[in-house]
Amino acid sequence: MEITVRHASHPDAVRNFDTEELRDHFLVPTIFKADGVVLTYSHIDRFVVGGAMPVAGPLKLESAKAIGSPNFLDRRELGVVNVGGPGRVTVDGAVYELEPRDCLYVTMGSTDVRFESLDRANPAKFYLNSAPAHARFETMKISIAQAKAVHLGDPAQSNERTIYQMIHPDVCRTAQLVLGMTVLKPNNMWNTMPCHTHDRRCEVYFYFDLPDPARVFHFMGEPDRTRHIVVANEQAVISPSWSIHSGVGTRNYTFIWAMAGDNQDFTDMDMIPMETLR
């Protein structure tokens, strides 16, 4: 298992970041490596983002010094979304089959978590998000059909999309983790515009279904001092609470959003008027 640690950045410092510094602090360029678990530990809300891609055999979720406990989930909860071929996750002996775009919430206190592909020629890719937890709930599989679907947007604004709320209070109880998937319809490229911040929570965007050479231009930063990061397929961007988070692609795409912080209210947003953006 590989784990990289990222420290939090004050907005005053970020104002002076050049392109490479922005990418070094906020872009997660590598989520999947064959037969590996790759994680990034962010000190922004102590959020962990990464991926597991088993090919030759099962992979176990191990702890690390950055996690600070004997088992990875002793004081954490985990969200798993399969964005590859069919796979299987075993949690303390219980087996969960995950088809593409299925989700699994794994509760705090789970000690043995293993990831496995059902077809080596088409391996599963398990996208992982983890946040600290204070209570134990029920490990639960959420298929995309079981998610709460919210249809938003307008073709005239190039943002017609469906939001699938998966790890969400209306679907699954958690300590603080909230997670979902947004699928843009063909010929729609914008997400989260008009944009917002939410000072109570951080958020991570993971972009996929983006064949080369397509890219997403992800906007971040303070509303009156915006910046952008160019994002390729299967890369993620960590968004601190003070930053906007929005993007436009060179074609339609799908992204997974995950949040952690003081509340789980999806609608708790501080909307940014378009005229204040700079």
Q: Which of 4, 179, 156, 168 lies closest to 79, judged by CA? A: 179
Cα radius of gyration rounded to whole Å, the chain: 18
List of residues 6+ apart from 103 with CB closer than 8 A? 79, 80, 81, 82, 141, 142, 143, 144, 147, 166, 167, 179, 181
Q: Which of 198, 205, 204 lies closest to 249, judged by CA? A: 205
Residue 245 annotated as binding?
yes
Residue 198 annotated as binding?
yes
CA–CA distance, 236 with 224 (Å, rounded to integer): 23
Residue 228 annotated as binding?
no
Binding-site residue numbers for Zn(2+) are 196, 198, 203, 245
Q: Which residue ranges make up the annotated binding site? A: 196, 198, 203, 245
